[in-house]
Amino acid sequence: MSDLAAFLSAHGIACERVDHPAVFTIEDVERDVPPLPGAPTKNLFLRDKKGTRQALVVVGAHKPVDLRALAASTGFERPSFGSPDRLLRCLGIAPGSVSLLALVNDTARAVEVFIDRDIWTADAFHCHPLVNTATFSLTHAGAEALLAATGHSYRIVDIPA
């Protein structure tokens, strides 16, 4: 996590941080994460049918995601959840820690990024800092700076529920 802190500092990206017990579900977050400014999120790490494309999908914590409809709106063919091994290989993290901040580990820029319009228009949103025992509040400007610093292009989409 010190590498992440150094990366954020070097790029002028400030985050508000809270530490908490490990969280794996939205219910865990609601129970164990102290209040932070911004919108809570859930982050999905997906692969396509052939296993040649990976995607990080960022949506509001309570928004259901229809993967079939997601495929139609993003062109990501038959998405399914990526395995823990693929997640470790692509983003350098374990399940439960997926967030936009993990893009710092994707130096090959192999992961495509889709952000739900509702989250993108929020002033700030929540991200795990590579572990699920802390949460950061990342401002919209901070998210833009992070994506620019990592070299990731992204698409703002209306994620279908």
Question: pLDDT tens digit string along 23-76?
Answer: 998 899 999 999 999 999 999 999 998 989 999 999 999 999 999 888 888 888
CATH number of the domain residue 144 falls in: 3.90.960.10
Range of the domain at 133: 2-157
Tell me the C-alpha distance between 33 and 161, whole Å. Answer: 25
According to the model, what pLDDT value does residue 72 have?
A: 85
Q: Does the pLDDT at position 103 exceed 80?
A: yes
Contact criterion met (CB below 8 Å) for 142 and 130: no
Contact criterion met (CB below 8 Å) for 39 and 75: no
Mean pLDDT across the stretch 90-96?
94
Q: Does the pLDDT at position 161 exceed 80?
A: no
Sign of the dihedral defined by the CA atoms of residues 57, 62, 66, 70, in that order: negative
Alpha carbon 123 to its chain centroid, in Å, reads 16
Q: Does the pLDDT at position 2 exceed 70?
A: no
Q: Does the pLDDT at position 15 exceed 70?
A: yes
pTM, two decimal places: 0.93
Owner of token pair 């350098």: 92
For 84, the token pair is 């823990």
| Residue 20: band (very low, low, confident or very high) from pLDDT cuts 50, 70, 90 | very high
Terminal-residue alpha carbon distance, the chain: 33
According to the model, what pLDDT value does residue 91 have?
A: 97
Tell me the C-alpha distance between 28 and 2, whole Å. Answer: 25
Residue 108 has φ and ψ, to the nearest 5°, of -80, -5
| Residue 6: band (very low, low, confident or very high) from pLDDT cuts 50, 70, 90 | very high
Residue 112 has φ and ψ, to the nearest 5°, of -80, 150
Mean pLDDT across the stretch 87-109?
96
Question: pLDDT tens digit string along 115-159?
Answer: 999 999 999 999 999 999 999 999 999 999 999 999 999 999 998
Q: Does the pLDDT at position 1 exceed 60?
A: no
User: Which amino acid type is present at position 55?
Assistant: A
Number of domains in the chain: 1
